[in-house]
Structure 1
Amino acid sequence: MTITQLHYVLAVAEHQNFTKAAQKVFVTQPTLSMQIQKLEDELEVTIFDRTKKPIQLTEVGEKIVQQARNIVNESDRIQDIVDQQKGFIGGIFRLGVIPTIMPTLLPMFIGNFMKKYPKVKLKIEELHTEAILEKLKEGHLDAAIAATPLKMDGIKEYVLYYEPFVPYIPSSVNAEVSEKIDVDDLDINKMLLLEDGHCFKDGILNLCNASRDYEGDQLQLESGSFETLIKLANDGLGMTLLPYLHTLELKEEEKKHLKMFKDPVPAREVSLIYNRSELKMQIIEALRSTIAGVVKGAITFQNVKIISPLSKKKENQNN
């Protein structure tokens, strides 16, 4: 049994196709098939059911893949130990970022990070939280930036900052609202929300302690873009909540529609999350220090109340 064979097994388990798996690990399909067959012969078991399309893991194959992932991670740790001993910060680093953080945070730190650590080759993906957690579990991401706490076994969370929720309420929607408001002043049925899959939407619903009921509404809209929500709010179609960093980029005319919550200010916790195997910790620490350096001047709120990013259903599942 070799580490290479285990890499091949993991590739087939991911792609459920021998040809695609071979392309992923840069070998020919016959070479990959032969090595997996050798492993199955040695173990005297069948890892993949080749009669099904797409290819499926057998019952024992599921257990083998789980253990193979652990072994491959531990083998990667050897190089990681050597890199840390040498003080080397470099190599490929795969980072996931949720969509409501990517456009504001990334431009703030990415230039500084690349200049300071030129040997790190960043591969960044914009992904929803569920996809991030799956990719971290499978070893396809080294770390991610997401809203926390997530309360997931095997995932560690390194808090970066707390980002307040900021009400965006044009006078055409509510002319009487004061500059500082309570959560009770929000009307969830007038709230323009992001589409399902965004943890920021779940955070708003948790903040308002409500679910969105569209029954009887003339307009039913959930968007993937804050820009769309802002434009619709400007047209008098509702109010919305924005992440604080996003408000820094608004036009001066739009900033007039921003309100603030009374203390403690509702906020989301933003963290670097990574697998408990703690591979590439020297790069994770470099990312943390770089981000902390640029964010501490932008977000100065002290008295905040952390709002869970988990939907009520997921929160119940994790408890």
Structure 2
Amino acid sequence: MTITQLQYVLAVAEYKNFTLAAEKSFVTQPTLSMQVQKLEDELDVLIFDRSKKPISITDAGMKIVAQAKNIVNEAERIRDIVDQEKGFIGGEYVLGIIPTVMPTLLPMFLKAFINRYPKVNLIIKEQSTESLIRNIQDGHLDAGIAATPLEIEFIKERPLYYEPFVGYVPKNHRLNKEVQLNPADLDINDILLLQDGHCFRDGVINLCKTSKSYPDEHFQLQSGSFETLINLADEDLGMTLLPFLNTLELDEKKRKNLKFFNNPPPAREVSLIYHKKELKIQITEALKEVISGIVRGAIAFQDVKIISPVNKN
């Protein structure tokens, strides 16, 4: 029995297909099939029922797969221990980032991180919060960056920064003459929202609920990007709320439509999230240090005080 054989078993268990499991494991299908068969012969038990489409896992196979996950994880932990003892920060690291954070955050920290840690092969994927959670649990992501709190038992949350909400209020809007905004000023019926599935949308809705403002059914506009929401607001279809970092690259004309909230402004907590097994923790700590330093500096430079987070749930 080898660690490689157990890794192949886990791949087949996940994808329910030998060809796809081989592709994801970067080996040929005959090689993977032969190694799984050798393990079954050694144990004298069938792990997979190949007569069904898709392949199913036998009762004994379910127990073997569960134990294989533990063994593979512990083998990876041994490598982590060695790396930490040597002070080595390197290797492959897969990071997921939610769509409302990735476009603004990634350009801020990526170059600094790869320059400081050139031995890390950083693989970045844009994913929804739901996908981040699932892929961290399945071991496909080493960590994610998401709006928190999530309060999920197997996930550890490490706050990176608190990002204020900023109003984008066009000149003909009822709130344009206000110097600063209060949550009580907001009416969700004239706020342009991101579409379902974005956690920033949930934060805005929860903020509006504090002012007893609820959506009417007759009219709502939703979009998948902040840029679209800004363009719709410029057409006098409502106002919108933006994360602070999304306002930094606006041109001078659009910046005139920004309205900041009275202190302390509502904000979202953005965190680095990862499995409580804490594999590759030395890379996780390095990533946290780089991102926190850069982003907190950018927010502090703009003289934005911190902040009361808006619970996203």
Structure 1 59/204 Cα, relative in aligned 2: closer, same or farther at 3 Å?
farther
Q: Which residue of 1 aligns with 2:308?
A: 305
Given that 2:96 and 2:141 are in contact with CA atoms closer than 8 Å, whether structure 1 keeps it comes out as: yes
Q: Which residue of 1 aligns with 2:271?
A: 271
Q: Which residue of 2 aligns with 1:232?
A: 232
Given that 1:173 and 1:233 are in contact with CA atoms closer than 8 Å, whether structure 2 keeps it comes out as: no
Structure 1 175/187 Cα, relative in aligned 2: closer, same or farther at 3 Å?
closer
Q: Distance in 2 between matches of 1:111 and 1:47?
A: 45
Instruction: For 1:230, give the aligned amino acid.
Output: I
Structure 1 214/293 Cα, relative in aligned 2: closer, same or farther at 3 Å?
same
Structure 1 60/130 Cα, relative in aligned 2: closer, same or farther at 3 Å?
farther
Q: CA deviation at 1:31?
A: 2.6
Matched, 1:243 2:246: no
- Length, aligned pairs only: 308
Identity %: 61
Structure 1 262/66 Cα, relative in aligned 2: closer, same or farther at 3 Å?
farther
Q: Distance in 1 between matches of 2:66 and 2:150?
A: 22
Q: Distance in 1 between matches of 2:144 and 2:88?
A: 21
Q: CA deviation at 1:215?
A: 2.2
Gaps of 5+ in 1: 311-319
Instruction: For 2:29, give the aligned amino acid.
Output: Q
Gaps of 5+ in 2: none
Instruction: For 2:173, give the aligned amino acid.
Output: V
Matched, 1:256 2:256: yes
Q: CA deviation at 1:62?
A: 4.2
Instruction: For 1:112, give the aligned amino acid.
Output: A
Q: CA deviation at 1:212?
A: 6.5
Instruction: For 1:216, give the aligned amino acid.
Output: H
Instruction: For 1:109, give the aligned amino acid.
Output: F
Query: Following superposition of structure 1 onto structure 2, how do residues 100-119 of structure 1 map, counting pairs within 5 Å?
Result: 100-119=100-119
Structure 1 4/42 Cα, relative in aligned 2: closer, same or farther at 3 Å?
same
Matched, 1:215 2:217: yes
Task: Give the TM-score taking structure 1 as reference length.
Answer: 0.90
User: CA deviation digits over 1:5-57, x for unaligned, max 9?
Assistant: 21112211222211011122232222322332343445555433434433333
Q: Distance in 2 between matches of 1:214 and 1:3?
A: 57
Q: Distance in 1 between matches of 2:192 and 2:172?
A: 14
Structure 1 65/199 Cα, relative in aligned 2: closer, same or farther at 3 Å?
farther
The RMSD of aligned alpha carbons is 2.0
Q: Distance in 1 between matches of 2:34 and 2:214?
A: 54
Instruction: For 2:119, give the aligned amino acid.
Output: K
Q: Distance in 1 between matches of 2:49 and 2:9?
A: 13
Q: Which residue of 2 aligns with 1:150?
A: 150
